[in-house]
């Protein structure tokens, strides 16, 4: 368990996407670590927030007013595939609806969430906003192609996080805004693609959550705006 001792005690931690595999594991780790006075989990499935609806985001964030200071917020949502779409293997499979939906869920939603949450981070002491990104969103690391909508939307997320971090640093120098790559985690998102995962590289949600929180524990203000993998290594832009 990661104690998150670099964060001042007594604050509040929030996980958005808490009904997913990684989100639920993050919520459990944060509740167990004992560092925060309040740990809150929101999910679309539970009807608490919809990242495709900014009014829904604003209403949810308003419920945090009057509580402990927000020290850590993690957006643990991602869309790679569902009943309505699959990752593209060729440019022939691209269409506007798939691209726009991936951008809405993977980039626009987390950015709007940050828009409403970053003002709540304290002016002093360590705090962080983090969003789940992916190594496949790295332009420099792309050697395989394909998965156009997912790759491009995660690359867009990484740029938005960088932009937000620059502005946040001017206002709150000790606060962080970062992306986190959890690796390949045994969840429904990765289930159709696990056959090609190297031995020992398919992680449980609990392992991924512990590692991501350990990464956050070690980050400093100069790391803001970057994307970090589960092992603490910086992901190439």
Its pTM stands at 0.95
CA 175, CA 1: separation in Å to the nearest integer?
23
The answer to whether 200 and 17 have CB atoms below 8 angstroms apart is no
The predicted structure's pLDDT at residue 44: 96
Q: What is the dihedral of CA 104, 136, 179, 237, to 10 degrees?
A: -110
Bridge partners of residue 58, in order along the sequence:
none
Choose the CATH number for 12-229 among 2.160.20.10, 3.40.50.300, 3.40.50.720, 3.40.50.2000. Answer: 3.40.50.720
CA 199, CA 2: separation in Å to the nearest integer?
25
Structure tokens at 138: 């790295």
Q: Tell which residue, 174, 165, 181, 176, has the closest CA to residue 232.
A: 181
CA 18, CA 13: separation in Å to the nearest integer?
12
Reduce the DSSP state of residue 65 to 3 states and report it: coil
CA 17, CA 187: separation in Å to the nearest integer?
13
Higher per-residue confidence, 187 vs 112: 112
Locate the domains of the chain by residue range.
12-229
At 128, which helix (H) or strand (E)? strand 127-132
pLDDT (tens digit, 9 = 90+) per residue, 24-44?
999 999 999 999 999 999 999
pLDDT (tens digit, 9 = 90+) per residue, 100-128?
999 999 999 999 999 999 999 999 999 99
CA 96, CA 99: separation in Å to the nearest integer?
5
């Amino acid at each position: 368990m990661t104690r998150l001792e670099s964060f001042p005690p007594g604050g509040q931690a929030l996980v958005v996407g808490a009904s997913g595999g990684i989100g639920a594991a993050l919520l459990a780790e944060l509740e167990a670590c004992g560092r925060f006075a309040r740990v809150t989990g929101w999910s679309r499935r539970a009807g608490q927030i919809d990242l495709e609806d900014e009014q829904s985001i604003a209403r949810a964030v308003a419920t945090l007013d009057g509580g402990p200071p927000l020290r850590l917020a993690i957006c643990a949502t991602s869309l790679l595939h569902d009943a309505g779409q699959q990752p593209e293997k060729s440019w022939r499979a691209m269409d506007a609806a798939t691209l726009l939906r991936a951008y809405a869920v993977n980039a626009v939603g987390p950015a709007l969430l940050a828009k409403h949450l970053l003002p709540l981070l304290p002016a002093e002491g360590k705090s962080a906003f983090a969003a789940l990104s992916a190594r496949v969103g790295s332009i420099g690391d792309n050697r395989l192609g394909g998965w156009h909508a997912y790759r491009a939307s995660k690359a867009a997320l990484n740029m938005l996080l960088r932009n937000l971090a620059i502005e946040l640093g001017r206002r709150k120098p000790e606060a962080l805004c970062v992306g986190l790559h959890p690796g390949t985690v045994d969840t429904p998102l990765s289930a159709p693609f696990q056959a090609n995962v190297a031995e020992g590289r398919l992680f449980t949600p609990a392992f991924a959550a512990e590692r991501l929180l350990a990464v956050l524990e070690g980050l400093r203000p100069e790391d803001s705006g970057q994307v970090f993998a589960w092992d603490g290594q910086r992901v190439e832009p």
